[in-house]
Chains A and B, each alone.
Chain A
Amino acid sequence: MSAVSTRTARSALAALAAGVLFLTGCSSGGGGDEQSETEAKKQGKDISYSFADAAASKGPAPEVEGAREGGTIKMLQRDTFSHLDPAQIYVSDEISLSTLIHRRLTNYKRNKDGSYSVVGDLATDSGKKSDGGKTWTYKLKDGIRFEDGSEITSKDIRHTIERTFAPFITEGPTFLQEWMTGKGGTEARKSLPDGPYKGDHLPDSMLETPDDKTIVFHFKQPQAEVPYALAMSGYGVVSAKKDTKEKYDKKPLCSGPYKIASFKSGKSMKLVRNTEWDPKTDAQRHQYPDAFDVQFGVSFEDSTKRLISDSGENRTATSFTNSVDASSMQKVRSNPEVEKRSVSGYQSYVGYMAINTDRITDKRVRQAIAYALPADSLVGAFGGTGAAEMAGNYISPTLVGHKPTDPFGKIKNPQGDVKKAKKLLKASGKSGMKLTFAYQNAPEWQQFSVAATQNLKKAGFDVQKKDIIADTYYDQIGKIKNGFDIYHHSWGADWPSASTVVPNLFDGRQVQDGAANYAHLKNEKFQQEMDRIRKITDPDKAAAEWMKLADRILKAEVPAVPLQYYKTIQLHGSKIGGAYFDESLHDLMPTSLYVKK
């Protein structure tokens, strides 16, 4: 759920600088406390989401067992929050924070049975579609207010959407804007070049607000996943009256159960109860602790050590997104007392080894590479099964429709099938060919490069290793003429559907500098198939089709080798209750936390 290319570049360098062997970002899954058993059972099984009706969208949220009000929770964070303006939020740190301070039209909610729903948050339900999915209508709940006591009306929602067209909004999602205008990112902006700030508004043919409570979206094409898109933090509500444009990013008006009492960028943030938030209007959030005390600049190593020690004030501490660093992974798993205080699960990322199809045109060579790469050494390098899981295909287990297929036997032969690779390379007549292998000079990738090179050499490749400085890595491999044959990268979905994965990675129309189609795959047939699946209005059916298409691309073209599904473990102090790993957030869920007696 985050800008992978940029965020990963940043965090990997951070990891390097800090001597931490782990990635930041989203995380999901189960484990920890009473949930651990059911979550563990669930892993590897199909995940399901449903679009909820008005009844399921009503507040208040069911009480967390044993929860009590009061106390302050300390949140240990490595990086400061770069953005507080909802429209600029796209990375996991701020996404996690926004669960406490910003509300959107829709929201994810974990049900008692462990399944997930998309519920109405500010809206009464997850949305009513008409016109074959081209029109979506939302009604606002009663009693929803900003922290200043002003009521949230359809005008605010309109403003929220319209201001994303303004030039200063650069980092948030662009899905709704593109669907409404029927145009790509930059072109879409031209529909409202200054945003709402000069009195212009989107025409009713795109966005309608017939009364204070009603919002109607009109899309150029039928859209099936609008409730998912609206649940993104990037569409969090912004007050039309109190919008301060660029300055809003430092001082937003909050609508969630907590508001910002103080924010010292890079040092600390204090969140206190938002008394204008009414629990009766919220199906998912709670307001147990009096305050959250966020401290920035705490490395993963440091936060892990503190939380393991469970000493003093660390007993009431946890983190939004700091996870257990790789070197402490074993310590956490071998100590039952500590493991009890952990939550774990999948991040949204999947790691891939892209094969540059401009340079390696022979499919058999690509197949040889796919067979040769050893999956287990990478998982080992990242800290073992707590940090990653070997991937058999392109689709993350966190996505609806995921099937545990394994076309190249990546899971069956975790050390790689060198024999098969050798045979294929021989058949292609390219034995001894030069293969330029680029990787980040972070310790885990360096470790993997050794094992990978060994296998590739055995298979008959003349491997040229290119060790690239972590912070320039994504800039370099993102260039179309990058001069490399294979290079790793990762990608995470924006919501639990592969529609934000498969086209990004493999749509030939999206080959450009800096784009995610790192393999430069161009295949008309598959592109048509993508367009077809996008039009399927049943989300579950579409999900199954995406999965099928992903496997077809993998088998037919081998543009990338699936390497691993990233996982994470987070810790909390012994006096913190209500901690669970939310699979839609891919992180520990902040809204259900409470301080134990």
Chain B
Amino acid sequence: MLRFLLRRSLGALVILLVISAVTFFLFYAVPRDPAMLACGKNCTPDALAVIRKNMGIDEPVPVQYWHFMVGIFAGRDFAQGACPAPCFGYSFATQDPVWQTILDRFPTTVSLTLGGAVVFLVVGLGAGMIAAWKRGTVVDKVFSSASLVLSSMQIYFVGPLVLALVVYQLDLLDQPKYVPLTEDPAGWFLGLLIPWLVVQIIFTANYTRLSRSSLIEQLQEDHVRTARAKGMSGRFVFFRYAWRGSLIPIVTIFGVDLGSLFGGAMITEWTFSLPGLGTLAVDSVRNTDLPMVMGVMLFAATFIILFNILVDAAYAFIDPRVRLS
């Protein structure tokens, strides 16, 4: 297990390095000048030069990249103040320290995505189990067709619809907002309920279908039949044998979906005006804000890689064959 973690961590570092380099150099491939954006209306070439120097973009790109990477591990000094490691610098657009901004936005995105994930995993897997348990019956058919319809929905379509109904028309809930869990758990829950439900609708549908088909496949496995031949009850076999096996493809898909979940956070956050990492990413690209783009990219990548390692660990937990080979 230790070797596994070590190997994966090394791999992750390489991936992050590649991502950082690609992002950094791609940023400069776009013909845009962040200094130009920061320079006022009565901008002059000299003023531009000053801004470039302040931003640290007056040096050759590889040198800038080197400074940036060194800054992450050793910290840097800026006009706005010292920036201890991990230092991603200060935002070009808002002068905010990048790392603090990311840490500040992170809880929103995590609450949104992981909270949503918990809901859709529980509801989706639950519905899939019911459908598989009652396969061929009316219940199964209703669940299956409903999930088919719902899985074709999009957040940016369902979101405003739910908002319009629940908040604007019926006035049942307040505008979605992020309240830190540590401050007010009830507020946190109610504030994110609508976004969760909306994210959940789409993913739940997908996971219902996945869980159902995976379970049905598992129910046809030889070892499930063996368990029944041993006299184990249908329920026991379903939960102990078939369900566990059915989790493997689900975990795989979930690992893949994590990336898109964070990508989707952008849309969800925008739809509900929740200031998380997704909107931060969009804004930073929009504002040609290199330090912020780099910070968010690397942070998100780290997080996704970390989660993929966790997913792999989950495999080992579910399937002993992975554990020992």
Contact, chains A and B (beta carbon distance below 8 A)? yes
Given A18-B270, A170-B50, the answer on whether A185 and B163 have CB atoms closer than 8 Å is no
Q: Pick the contact of A184: B44, B94, B168 (CB < 8 A).
A: B44
Report if B41 contacts A (CB, 8 A).
yes
Further 11 A-B residue pairs, CB within 8 A, beyond A6-B37, A308-B168, A514-B39: A10-B287, A17-B282, A167-B50, A168-B79, A185-B44, A297-B275, A305-B163, A311-B167, A474-B36, A475-B33, A475-B36
Contacts of B31 in A (CB 8 A): 472, 475-476
Q: Pick the contact of A305: B81, B104, B168 (CB < 8 A).
A: B168
Contacts of A247 in B (CB 8 A): 80-81
Give B57-100 as 1s and 0s: 1 = Cβ < 8 Å from A's Cβ atoms. Answer: 00000000000000000000001110000000000011110000
In the bound assembly, the distance between CA atoms of A485 and B208 in angstroms comes to 57
Query: Which residues of chain A in 459-480 are interfacial with respect to chain B, using CB atoms and an 8 Å cutoff?
Result: 471-472, 474-476, 478
Report if B7 contacts A (CB, 8 A).
no
Query: Which residues of chain A in 186-230 are interfacial with respect to chain B, using CB atoms and an 8 Å cutoff?
Result: 186, 189
A503 to chain B, nearest CB (A): 11
Contacts of A243 in B (CB 8 A): none
Given A90-B40, A167-B54, A168-B79, the answer on whether A266 and B286 have CB atoms closer than 8 Å is no
Report if B313 contacts A (CB, 8 A).
no
Q: Pick the contact of A80: B45, B54, B94, B168 (CB < 8 A).
A: B94
Is A471 in contact with B94, judged by CB distance below 8 angstroms? no
Is A171 in contact with B36, judged by CB distance below 8 angstroms? no
Report if B174 contacts A (CB, 8 A).
yes
Report if A313 contacts B (CB, 8 A).
yes
Is B95 in contact with A250, judged by CB distance below 8 angstroms? yes
Report if A29 contacts B (CB, 8 A).
no
- Give B residues with C-beta under 8 Å from A: 30-33, 36-48, 50-51, 54, 79-81, 93-96, 101, 104-105, 160, 163-164, 167-169, 171, 174-175, 177-178, 269-275, 279-280, 282-283, 286-288
Report if A264 contacts B (CB, 8 A).
yes
Contacts of B38 in A (CB 8 A): 6, 170-171
In the bound assembly, the distance between CA atoms of A267 and B283 in angstroms comes to 13
In the bound assembly, the distance between CA atoms of A243 and B168 in angstroms comes to 45
23 contacts between A and B (CB under 8 A): A5-B41, A6-B36, A13-B286, A82-B94, A168-B54, A170-B39, A185-B44, A186-B44, A189-B46, A246-B95, A264-B104, A265-B101, A266-B275, A266-B279, A267-B105, A296-B275, A305-B168, A309-B169, A312-B175, A313-B175, A471-B32, A475-B33, A475-B36
Q: Pick the contact of B286: A296, A299, A313, A471 (CB < 8 A).
A: A471
In the bound assembly, the distance between CA atoms of A305 and B33 in angstroms comes to 35
Contacts of B40 in A (CB 8 A): 3, 6, 90, 170-174
Contacts of B177 in A (CB 8 A): 295
Is A314 in contact with B41, judged by CB distance below 8 angstroms? no
Closest chain A residue to B78 by CB distance? Answer: A246
Closest chain A residue to B35 by CB distance? Answer: A170
Closest chain B residue to A90 by CB distance? Answer: B40
